[in-house]
Amino acid sequence: MSFGRSFTVLCPLFLLGVAGTSSGNFRQLPGSTVKPGSPVPIKTNDSGVQKAARYGVYTYNNSSNDIFLFKESHINKATVQVVRGLKYNLDVNISRTVCSKRKHPSLDRCHFQKSKKLRQTFRCHFEVWLTPWLQRVEVLVSNCQ
């Protein structure tokens, strides 16, 4: 079992151009331009990016005074950084849905507002830190304009 766990931890590091040494220290692989711990661009349709964006939206909805829920309408840019888990930096457009906050439906079933008067979109920057082995998610930054 230990082998599986080690493989899971080292696999993302290997993809980032980092290798472990016998002393437990990490070094950069020859020819790699990525430095250990540096943010790396990641596709916006990656499932981890999608989940991190949703956590950011939940944080926004919990702090907003709007009577309607917002959800992500477009993920513009994403990076991931290996730091005792995964830290996602996301630039996301969020838009108002037809779902009211009182009913708390699943955001997956909420459609965007069609009425011109009620349509609203914000551009947000979210920093979301996932620590899967602790089953912990923390939204470090939630800034929407």
Cα 29 off chain centre by: 27
* pLDDT (0 to 100) of residue 21: 40
Q: Percent of the chain having pLDDT more than 90? A: 69
What is the sign of the dihedral through the CA atoms of 89, 90, 96 and 99?
negative
Which residue spans of the chain are classified as CATH 3.10.450.10? 39-144
CATH class of 39-144: alpha beta
With 80 as the cut, is the pLDDT of residue 90 above it? Answer: yes
Structure tokens at 78: 């994403």
- pLDDT band with cut points at 50, 70 and 90 for residue 103: confident
- pLDDT band with cut points at 50, 70 and 90 for residue 105: confident
* pLDDT (0 to 100) of residue 131: 94
* pLDDT (0 to 100) of residue 52: 97
Between the alpha carbon of residue 30 and those of residues 14, 19, 20, 40, 42, the distances in Å are 12, 10, 13, 18, 22
With 50 as the cut, is the pLDDT of residue 9 above it? Answer: no
Report for 4-18, 27-41, 96-110: range of highest mean pLDDT = 96-110
**32 DSSP assignment:** -
Q: pLDDT, tens digit, for every residue of 12-71?
A: 433 444 444 444 444 555 665 556 688 999 999 999 999 999 999 999 999 999 999 999
